Structure 1
Amino acid sequence: MEAKQNRKDESVRRLQAVWPFCLTKLKKGLSYVKMGSFGGAILTMLVSVGAYALIAPLQLAVGMVVMVLIHELGHVVAAKQKGLSTSAPVFIPFIGAMVNLERHPRNAATEAYIALGGPLLGSIGAFASYWIGNRWDSLLLLALAYIGFIINLVNLLPIHPLDGGRIAIAVSRRLVSIGLIAGLVIIVYYQLYILFIFWILFALDLARKYIDRKRGPKLRSIEASYELPLTWVEDRLKERGLELPRQDQQKDLEFTTYSELDGHQKMMFLWEDIGLRGTLLLPGQVLVHRARLLQTDIKDKKEGRFLLVRCRADYYAYENEEYFTVPQRTRWALGSVYLTLAVSLIYMLYSFAHVGWMAGLENT
């Protein structure tokens, strides 16, 4: 049954839910492109090339998309090594690209391994471009190397939902505090203001978690509305010897919750008397405290008359601590690769800025 969701959670939770939800819907929509999954990837690649070509030479625009593609292929390879399948990459102009996992990782270590695959392979691609550019004296390849270093360093920032945020959680949660400061510095220094929305959501999420730890979990709520054919409802109630519910009637409802393979958690409002089985997408992993009927109403539409049912779910934010349990040896391995990669990228960007190569790059 399709739900017309009317979310009335506080603004922070709405902001945090809207962005990844929109990206996910974009990816699912492209999966219906007649060319198929890879056709959708090619189409979005061409769109990205066209968008970048508006502000840069065409050959540089193509190279930028290739650098992003190499980064995304790193995620694909890492996921396959962990036995997880992924979608084809979807490119989003001036944001980057994304791949969807068909099943959510079972623990933070696996999620971090897959996240690390992107910057690792992407950095290898950038270093290769730098090496070839030096040998062939190609300013284009050097420019692409510079762009590749920036792309992969930004992705290593310990800010969720960037790759670095997923890696940091598995290495040490204290890294997220560093990410709050380092992220802002890099965004401002390289004028990557389009990423500022990620930083804001990250900062708001940290603030919420801090308040929850100090005051205890806060009971939050989310609402949804459902329409059922009135004659169908009346027939069900008649069989049970019941009348239509009053407009102002309120009561607790039965419910069930479940998680899909992609990690999204959903719940279902259950009111058997009228045949309601209303699905609701929850904002992350939560513990549902109560499901409640708020109001019913009769709605006239061209298709006929419908019973409008408004429901509310009260919930607490939930984090599965077992998910974040990572063996010490794995923490050290992930942390060592992460630190080595970050330092290498910073060094290369420092070299570009202080050895005179930038003058040539600016004329590319």
Structure 2
Amino acid sequence: MKWLGGGAAMLLLKGKAILSLLKIGKIAAPLISMMISIWAYALIYPWGFAVGFVLLLLVHELGHVIAAKQKGLPVSAPLFIPFVGALIAMKRQPLDAESEAYIAFGGPILGSIGAVAVFVAAYYTDSPLLYSLAYIGLLLNLLNLLPIHPLDGGRIAVAVTRWLWLVGLVGGLAVILYLQSILFFIIWALFAYDLYKKFIKQRKKGQGNTLSSVSKGFLIPVEHLKDVGYMIPGPDHRRDLPFTTYSDLNRQQHVKVNWDTLDYNGTAVLTQQAIISKVRITRLEHVTLENGLHLRMHLEILYTPFDNDKYYDVPANTRWKYGAAYFLLAGFLAGMMYLVHLVGNVNL
């Protein structure tokens, strides 16, 4: 079971970097990553277990995809990472805590249905392999319900009560002892530090000290300026650019930059609400394309994340509903694991 804890940590720490490396197509990347994962698991486990395990991961991730689509949020196709798990990338963040929890619920709910279906098949076929798959599927979904952000349970907690995160601190230690995983300890420690920054450090120093940055790129046509004798800026050119920022009806924040001398306006999209302090050029490249000379402009946008407390405003009846669903699902998964252990004599 050690690889489960390590896998969860690696998924959270390295998932985005691996995702960017494997973006070779909307369909090709998921299929290739699935085949690679099956091959990797088959090096240790039987082929049947490897295939079944990856399919259970797929069912879990599809639950998130379906829930996100229902909320009108675009997401990437599931990407599989050997001995780590699977992930999807949110192309736009939820607008409120209720939506975040709804999307988080999708994975464990559909994943639990998939694991129960495997258990039913195991019961009627008396297959040790299917019993093992059912058990591991139930366990994976139960671990994901730990109220540790950004696991599914941590995201559900924002719509129930953030006090559940404190439960996650204690429960996370118990899981660490059970899995005996250093990497799972790392992700737990990162979660603990995040809570410290959010509820202690920032309240002492104020949110004005939490300056962050994001890089954006623009391609500017300048052939027409070159033709009239305008001196095109070189690679070492640096300057701050004027900007305006606004949010659309979906609360998606846009930053519009302007370079008057080049008669250029461009717009960048931020993944979160923020207070913009500065937009500056960090690098310029001269690029010649079929339609002439272009400048590839690299910008750094400096901002302070805006933590909107209204994000966590969830109606009381919704909190009760999500809270009941959360504890019922966790209890159901634990009970099903015990049943699989009794009927199938499985204890991984």
- 2:87 pairs with 86, 89, 98, which one? 98
Post-superposition CA distance 1:151-194 (Å, at most 9, x none): 10111122222211221111111212222332343244124555
Residue 158 of structure 2 is matched in structure 1 by 169
Find out whether 1:114 has 2:109 as its counterpart: no
Distance 1:326 1:221, change over 3 A: closer
Look up the equivalent residue of 1:289 and give its one-letter code. Answer: S
TM-score, scaled to structure 2 = 0.75
Q: Tell me: CA distance 1:300–1:78, structure 2 relative to 1, closer, same or farther (3 Å).
A: closer
What is the CA distance between 1:144 and its match in structure 2?
Answer: 0.7
- After TM superposition, the structure 1 = structure 2 runs for residues 159-238 of structure 1, keeping only pairs within 5 Å, are 159-191=148-180, 193-196=182-185, 198-210=187-199, 211-217=201-207, 218-222=209-213
8 Å Cα contact 1:257/1:268 also seen in 2: yes
| Per-residue deviation, 1:83 | 4.9
- CA–CA distance in 2 between the matches of 1:78 and 1:64? 22
**296, 308, 320: which is aligned to 1:320?**
308
Cα deviations across residues 278-327 of structure 1 (Å, max 9, x unaligned)?
77776744211233568x89x89999x99998865432121223332211
The runs of 5 or more residues in structure 2 that have no matched partner are 1-11
TM-score in terms of structure 1 length: 0.72
Question: For 1:91, what is the secondary structure of its paired residue?
Answer: strand
Instruction: Read off the aligned partner of 2:146 and give its amino acid letter.
Output: L
- Alpha-carbon contact 1:291-1:314 (below 8 Å) kept: yes
Asked if the contact 1:234/1:244 (under 8 Å) is kept, the reply is: no
- The runs of 5 or more residues in structure 1 that have no matched partner are 1-16, 32-36
Is residue 148–residue 191 contact of structure 2 (8 Å, CA) maintained in 1? yes
Query: What percentage of aligned pairs have identical amino acids?
Result: 42
Of 318, 339, 343 in structure 2, the residue corresponding to residue 330 of structure 1 is: 318
Of the structure 1 ranges 165-174 and 283-292, higher mean CA displacement relative to structure 2 is found in 283-292
- Asked if the contact 1:225–1:308 (Cα under 8 Å) also holds between the matched residues in 2, the reply is no
C-alpha contact (below 8 Å) 2:241/2:259 kept by paired residues = yes
Q: Tell me by how many angstroms 1:330 deviates.
A: 1.1
Paired AA for residue 220 in structure 1: L
Kindly tell me: are residues 81 and 354 of structure 1, through their superposed partners in 2, closer, same or farther at Cα, counting changes over 3 Å? same
> Retained in 1: the 8 A contact 2:256–2:267?
yes
- What pairs up with 1:341-352 in 2 under 5 angstroms? 341-349=329-337
1:290 alignment partner in structure 2: 278
1:141 corresponding residue in structure 2: 130
Deviation, 1:329, is 1.0
Give the distance between the partners of 2:21 and 2:250, measured in 1 at CA. Answer: 15
Secondary structure at the counterpart of residue 288 of structure 1: strand
**Within 2, Cα distance between the matches of 1:337 and 1:126?**
18
2:65 counterpart of 1:70: no
Give, in whole Å, the separation in 1 of the partners of 2:69 and 2:195. Answer: 32
Q: Is the 8 A contact 1:223 1:310 kept in 2?
A: no
Q: Say if 2:24 is the partner of 1:29.
A: yes
Question: Is the contact between residue 104 and residue 261 of structure 1 (CA under 8 Å) also seen in structure 2?
Answer: no
Matched residue, 1:253: 241
Displacement of 1:125 after TM fit?
2.1
**Contact in 2 for aligned 1:264/1:284 (Cα 8 Å):** yes
Query: Partners of 1:219 and 1:117 in 2: how far apart?
Result: 32
Q: Please, what is the CA RMSD of the aligned residues?
A: 4.4
Task: Note if contact 1:60-1:144 (Cα within 8 Å) is conserved in structure 2.
Answer: yes
2:259 maps to 271
Q: CA offset at residue 116 of structure 1?
A: 0.6
| Conservation of the 8 A alpha-carbon contact between 2:147 and 2:155 | yes
**Matched residues in 1 for 2:214 and 2:67: separation?**
38
Deviations 1:183-241 (A, max 9, x none): 343244124555555434433322221211222111414375979999869859976xx
